[in-house]
Amino acid sequence: MEESIYKFTAPLLNGGPDGPQISLAEFREEVLLIVNTASKCGFTPQYTGLEQLYRSYRERGFSVLGFPCNQFGAQEPGSEAEIGEFCERNYGVSFPIFAKIEVNGPRAHPLYQFLKRSKPGILGIFGAGGIKWNFTKFLVDRKGCVVVRYGPSTKPEKLAGKIERLLDVL
């Protein structure tokens, strides 16, 4: 059996980094788009497309999981409350946002260690498969397996066809 994301936990944004851990097994049987996010990035307007995907497909078993990260240009400096307020006020974000994490380095969240091992990216074959910038996206199937990795410049709306195909697999 392939390894899946279901063995990982993470705290939701409103609980802070030391808040109660949510098991990703709660998203079992859903297609997921896992994204490292930031509020002060040139890609931040992608929140609009991410929210649109979430609203379009959530009834069919799809969710976006946002993981704020301050490792790229210090573009997510805010507190948990500030991040949540920013996302809701500016982009109407209703999909789950988790507490701020690190995605690279020795303190990288175990979920991101797994995601990078599963899909190291084009340059990953030469390096460690590190996340290069905010809004790197991982598409996960209903079994919790990472299907594909997209770079930050890939707009969320470009993923609709692939998401629909994964949703059709029961």
- Residues that are catalytic: 41
Which residues are bridge partners to 149 per DSSP? 138
What's the half-sphere exposure (Cβ side, CA atoms, 13 Å) at 93? 26
* Burial of 39 per CB tally in 10 Å (0-12, 13-18, 19+): buried
Q: Pairing state of beta strands 146-150 and 31-37?
A: unpaired
Residue with tokens 């507490």: 99
How far lies 164's CA from each of 5, 60, 169, in Å?
20, 9, 9
Instruction: Report yes or no: 97 and 66 within 8 Å, Cβ to Cβ.
Output: yes
Pairing of strands 31-37, 62-68: parallel
Distance, C-alpha 82 to centroid of its chain:
19
